[in-house]
Chains A and B, each alone.
Chain A
Amino acid sequence: MKNRMLRELYAARAFIDRNLNLSKRYWKWELVFLVYTIANSVTIGFIGRGVESVTGTSIDAQFYILYMLIGSILWGYLSILFEIISETVTWERWEETIEYTFMAPVHRATHLLSVCGYAIIYGIIRSSVILLVLSFFFNLDMSSANFASAVLILGIASFSFIGLGMCAAILPLISPEKGIQVVSIFQSLLLMFSGVYYEIHVLPQWMQAVARISPATYALQGMRASILHGAGMGDMVQYIVPLLFIGLFLVPFGIALFIRMERWAKQKGVLKRSG
């Protein structure tokens, strides 16, 4: 039993090391995406700074910039988690290593959770770099922030996003061609519905209803409450509970469904071949 645990741990480490190595070897692409994300965030910051002069009304620009940048950084982090996890299958299929990884004696939960672990480490490092660059451009006043609440919400939001990513990873498994396209559409809808750059009450009623089932909505609201308003643990409950709920459902459900669909893929013969 102990032996088995140890083997799964070595396997987990192997997955994380492999992803680190891939990031290292594809560093030029990493740089491209990082520059792209930073430029995006900086642009959004400047939009905030320009609101007063465009509309001719006076607003708390400093506050608004921070509001927008929280959206941008947190969305960047959550999308990275979502992308890394949902591309687990696509990437291996493209490299043609998929059969070797799927015939190895590793529990699928170990496989998926290690990729999630990597995604979290990677996402946090990346977001920190972005935050650092942004602080050169904008005077980010976080004096009223409650960082303990912020860390808590980040942790729990990561958990529910992992669940979402796992469910998304199943699509490329069962449909080599269309899977990844559907995942991309899903991701962009998540951006539109979840109030990344606005409060969800500006949305039409039906969109607000959708927003309320998106974990990103609660993550963003919770993060803004803690950074902008210094909300303490007590105030965070309303965001933490739905996130925890979604995560506790999606993570085991995602793993179980993945295992089922893997079996289906092995029956249909779509693991490797397309078509």
Chain B
Amino acid sequence: MIALESKNIVKYFQKKKETSWALNQVNLQIRQGEIFGLLGPNGSGKSTFIRIASTLLVPEKGNMSVFGYDVVKESQKVQRLINRVSVEASFFRMLSPMENLLFSAGLYGLSKKEAIKRINEICETIGLEKKRMHDRIKDFSRGMQQKVAIARAFLTNPPLMLLDEPTTGLDPRAKREVQQLVTDMNSRYGMTILLTTHDMDEAERLCQRVAVIHKGEIMVTGTPEHLIQIQESKTANPTLEDVFLAYTGLTFSQVETEGVGV
């Protein structure tokens, strides 16, 4: 079954007289149960794609559906099937993780009792200390905040999880923990995951299939192994990084120094 299907999605932003193109004729199919990586440099349109899937942006042209439901016309049905983690943790800073998570659980229709049970389970899995669950989130480290953001998303058990650069800006250890969690959720619960990243190592480790996006256009789609194999005719001993470079025309250090994208 297809978890997410995007057909000829076009999205641009018109601010004053300027038009910035974000997505141009994007076609993608994400199969149920897979971890799919959307790889691209900053500004390539990854977050825009995720926002359309999250019902937060309406595309100019094309259709996108989640498990058969149209993201624009049947947005509330889609909303029940998804959740999302973004680069920024996005919490009520003065509230505790518990208060933030209870709020989120309530929005997804969980009773307080169910929510507390789920929160405790998830925190155990993720390794969030119970005793810190009542401190203000603003005093948390970025890694900790990101863990709470992940807890918030997994709390609702979404069949399709949208992860927008979930590990960008995390220290190596926190990064590993998050990656482990992503694979666990996928293998244990069969959760379909769409992950955006510009970390090729991460993509190769986690994703069954990837697509490279550049300036709003999908350059290539396939399994990491297959893409690397194609690259062999051009580079000796290629890696996924070489594939990425070949399609985006950027050197890897350029991608890194552009900093954290929004």
Contact = CB atoms under 8 A, between A and B. Distances in A.
A260 interface: no
Interface residues of A, number: 35
Contact of B103 (A18, A105, A271, A273): A18
Contacts of A107: 76
A106 B57 contact: no
B251 interface: no
Nearest to A266: B58
Contacts of B102: 14, 17
A102 to B, nearest CB: 6
B229 to A, nearest CB: 38
B55 interface: yes
Contacts of B58: 263, 266-267
Contacts of B109: 6-8, 10-11, 105
Contact of A275 (B15, B60, B94): B15
Contacts of A100: 84, 90, 104, 152
A85 B210 CA distance: 44
Given A104-B79, A266-B58, A269-B57, A95 B106 contact: no
Interface string B125-159: 00000000000100000000000000010000000
A272 interface: yes
Interface stretch (A20-28, A75-83, A179-187): A20-28
B196 interface: no
B108 interface: yes
Contacts of B90: 95-97, 99-100
Contacts of A272: 56
A13 B79 contact: no
Contacts of A97: 90-92
Of B13, B14, B84, B105, chain A has the most CB atoms within 10 Å of the CB of: B13
Interface of A: 6-8, 10-11, 13-15, 17-18, 21-22, 25-26, 95-97, 99-107, 263, 266-269, 271-273, 275
Interface of B: 13-15, 51, 54-58, 60, 76, 79-80, 82, 84, 86, 88, 90-95, 99, 102-112, 136, 152, 262
6 contacts: A21-B95, A96-B88, A99-B54, A103-B56, A268-B14, A271-B56
